[in-house]
Structure 1
Amino acid sequence: MSMLSYIRFQPWHEAAADDGVAWERDANHPDIDRLPQIFWRSREGWAEANYWALTKVSDDGVDLETVKSLMKHLHAYSEFLEDSKLDWRHFPIRMEDRVLVRFRGHLIKQIESGSLKSSTASARIRAVIQFYKHANDQNFITPEYPMWRDKTVVIPFFDVTGFRRTLARASTSLAIANRTRLGTKLEDGLQPLSEQHMSELLGFTLHEASEELHLLLTTGFFVGARLETITTIRIENLEAALPDPFIKGFHQLNAGPGTGIQTKFDVQGQLLLPDFLLAELLRYAYSTPRLKREARAAPRDRSLIFLTSRGSRYSSNSVSRLMTELRRDASRAGLKFMSRFKFHETRATYGTWLMKIMLGITSVPTAIEFVKNAMFHKHESTTFGYVKFIESSQGKQQAAAAFSEAFSGLTTRNWDDFHA
Structure 2
Amino acid sequence: MADKTSKKQPCARYDSLARRILLPEFRFQRVHFTGHVNTHLAPPLQEFVADPLSYRNFPVIIQGNGEPWDIGNLYLVHKLQTEINYESRTYRGIADHLLDYLRFSESEGLDIFYFPVNDRLKITYRYRQRLIDQAVLGQIGLGTGTARINAVVKFYREIMRCRLVDENFLGVEPFKDVYKYISTLNNYGIASAVKVQSHNLAIKSRVSSEPDRISDGGKLRPLDVEDQEIVLKSLLSSSREYQLMFYFALFTGARIQTVCTLRISSLSGPLDKDGMLRLKIGMGTGVDTKSGKRMVLLVPGWLVNDLKIYSKCEDSLKRQSRSFYRDAGDNYLFLSKNGNPYYTSKTELLDRREVQRYGSGGGGHNADLAPLQDGAAIRQFITEILLPKIYLEHADFQKFTFHDLRASFGINLLESELDARGEGRTTEVLEYVQQRLGHSDKKTTLQYLNYKSRLKWRASVQGKYESRLFKYVNTSAVSVVAGVPSDL
Quick check: TM above 0.5?
yes
2:175 corresponding residue in structure 1: none
Residues 1:305 and 2:333 aligned together: yes
Residues 1:353 and 2:379 aligned together: no
Residues 1:170 and 2:130 aligned together: yes
Residues 1:272 and 2:301 aligned together: no
1:344 corresponding residue in structure 2: 403
Q: 1:289 aligns with which of 315, 320, 323?
A: 315
TM-score normalised per structure 2:
0.51
1:220 corresponding residue in structure 2: 249
2:286 corresponding residue in structure 1: 260
- Hey, what's the Cα distance between the residues in 1 that align with 2:109 and 2:69? 22
The alpha-carbon distance between structure 1 residues 150 and 198, as it changes in their structure 2 partners (threshold 3 A), is farther
**Where does 1:225-264 land on structure 2 (aligned, <5 Å)?**
225-239=254-268, 241-245=269-273, 248-264=274-290
- Hey, what's the Cα distance between the residues in 2 that align with 1:274 and 1:313? 24
Residues 1:20 and 2:48 aligned together: no
2:157 corresponding residue in structure 1: none
Residues 1:205 and 2:204 aligned together: no
- Hey, what's the Cα distance between the residues in 2 that align with 1:269 and 1:222? 16
**Where does 1:11-410 land on structure 2 (aligned, <5 Å)?**
18-22=40-44, 38-40=55-57, 52=72, 54-55=74-75, 72-75=89-92, 125-130=96-101, 169-171=129-131, 176-178=140-142, 182-186=210-214, 187=216, 188-206=218-236, 208-239=237-268, 241-245=269-273, 248-299=274-325, 303-314=331-342, 315=373, 316-324=375-383, 325-334=385-394, 336-337=396-397, 339-360=398-419, 361=421, 363-394=425-456
- Hey, what's the Cα distance between the residues in 1 that align with 2:409 and 2:426? 18
**CA deviation string 1:103-148 (max 9, x = no partner):** xxxxxxxxxxxxxxxxxxxx77314435x569xx9xxxxxxxx8x7
The alpha-carbon distance between structure 1 residues 297 and 63, as it changes in their structure 2 partners (threshold 3 A), is closer
Contact 2:27 2:55 in 1 (8 A): no
- Hey, what's the Cα distance between the residues in 1 that align with 2:276 and 2:108? 55
Superposition deviation, residue 4 in structure 1: 9.8
- Hey, what's the Cα distance between the residues in 2 that align with 1:56 and 1:125? 11
- Taking only aligned residues, the RMSD between alpha carbons, in angstroms, comes to 4.6
Contact 1:285 1:305 in 2 (8 A): yes
Contact 2:213 2:222 in 1 (8 A): no
SS across alignment from 1:342: coil
Superposition deviation, residue 326 in structure 1: 1.0
SS across alignment from 1:258: coil
Give the counterpart letter for 1:353 in structure 2. Answer: N
1:163 corresponding residue in structure 2: none
Give the counterpart letter for 1:219 in structure 2. Answer: F
The alpha-carbon distance between structure 1 residues 292 and 63, as it changes in their structure 2 partners (threshold 3 A), is closer
| Aligned length, in residue pairs | 301
1:102 corresponding residue in structure 2: none
Give the counterpart letter for 2:320 in structure 1. Answer: E
- Hey, what's the Cα distance between the residues in 2 that align with 1:150 and 1:221? 50
Superposition deviation, residue 39 in structure 1: 3.9
Which sections of structure 1, spanning at least 5 residues, go unmatched?
25-35, 77-122, 138-145, 152-165, 398-420
- Hey, what's the Cα distance between the residues in 2 that align with 1:273 and 1:8? 43
Contact 1:355 1:371 in 2 (8 A): yes
Contact 1:293 1:310 in 2 (8 A): yes
Rg (Cα) greater in structure: 2
Structure with the largest fraction of helix: 1
Give the counterpart letter for 2:411 in structure 1. Answer: T
Superposition deviation, residue 346 in structure 1: 0.6
Superposition deviation, residue 6 in structure 1: 11
Contact 1:267 1:378 in 2 (8 A): no
Question: Larger relative CO (CA 8 A, sep 6+): 1 or 2?
Answer: 1
- Hey, what's the Cα distance between the residues in 1 that align with 2:134 and 2:313? 48
The alpha-carbon distance between structure 1 residues 210 and 170, as it changes in their structure 2 partners (threshold 3 A), is same
Superposition deviation, residue 349 in structure 1: 0.5
Contact 1:5 1:37 in 2 (8 A): yes
Which sections of structure 2, spanning at least 5 residues, go unmatched?
5-21, 47-52, 111-125, 144-206, 343-372, 460-488
Runs of 4+ off more than 6 Å: 1-12, 67-71, 148-151, 172-175
Give the counterpart letter for 2:439 in structure 1. Answer: H
**CA deviation string 1:38-76 (max 9, x = no partner):** 4459xx9x9968984644686xx99967x9899744446
Superposition deviation, residue 222 in structure 1: 0.4
Contact 1:306 1:313 in 2 (8 A): yes
The alpha-carbon distance between structure 1 residues 355 and 263, as it changes in their structure 2 partners (threshold 3 A), is same
- Hey, what's the Cα distance between the residues in 2 that align with 1:222 and 1:150? 54
**Percent identity over paired residues:** 21
